[in-house]
């Protein structure tokens, strides 16, 4: 059931065993997996079923390196499906380096490690119908070997 937040009264209370924030691919998958185990789940999304300018304005960032990155409003979507609604179809898992602390982003750390997430990579690929879970490092090392002079793919 979809309930629009702007139809709820200000003193409304929603109760569930789990609240998942964000109805992108990860949020939807988590909500469905947990609900399948018999838990009551609320999946909260700041946008609507389709793109909405008012909801999209919530994606604007105060500080942004616009010489390096596109504006946040062009890079993310606040709607059902999240940013996947503008994806080009490329799905890659995180790499170990994505979880390493870096001097230039020292205030942000992951609450989990790469190794803790690794057992779930294939399940995520199953949800997204994107094949086997291979790390970018594995893909690039295979590509570099196959693209070396004199190399050829053996089947």
Confidence of residue 23 (pLDDT cuts 50, 70, 90): very high
For residues 116 and 154, what is the distance between their CA atoms, to the nearest angstrom? 34
Calculate mean pLDDT across residues 25-53: 92
Residue extents of the structural domains in the chain: 1-89, 94-155
Q: Quick one: pLDDT at residue 155?
A: 43
pLDDT in tens, 87-138: 876 777 788 888 888 877 767 788 899 999 988 888 888 888 888 877 655 5
Helix/strand/coil (H/E/C) assignment for every residue in 98-120: HHCCCHHHCCCCCCCCHHHHHHH
Cβ neighbours for 81, distance < 8 A, ≥ 6 positions apart? 23, 24, 25, 28
Pick the residue with more confidence: 152 or 6? 6
The reported pLDDT for the residue numbered 154 is 47
Dist. CA 146–CA 148, nearest whole Å: 6
């Amino acid at each position: 059931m979809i309930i629009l937040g702007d139809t709820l009264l200000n003193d409304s209370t929603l109760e569930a065993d789990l609240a998942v924030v964000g109805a992108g691919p990860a949020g939807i998958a988590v909500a469905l997996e947990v609900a399948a185990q018999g838990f009551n789940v609320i999946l909260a999304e700041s946008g609507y079923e389709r793109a909405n300018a008012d909801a999209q304005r919530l994606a604007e960032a105060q500080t942004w390196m616009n010489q390096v990155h596109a504006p946040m409003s062009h890079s993310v979507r606040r709607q059902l499906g999240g940013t996947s609604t503008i994806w080009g179809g490329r799905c890659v898992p995180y790499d170990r380096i994505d979880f390493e602390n870096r001097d230039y982003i020292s205030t942000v750390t992951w609450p989990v490690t790469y190794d803790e997430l690794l057992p779930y990579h294939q399940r995520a690929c199953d949800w997204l119908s994107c094949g086997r879970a291979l790390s970018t490092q594995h893909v690039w090392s295979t590509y570099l070997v196959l693209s070396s002079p004199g190399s050829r793919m053996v089947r």
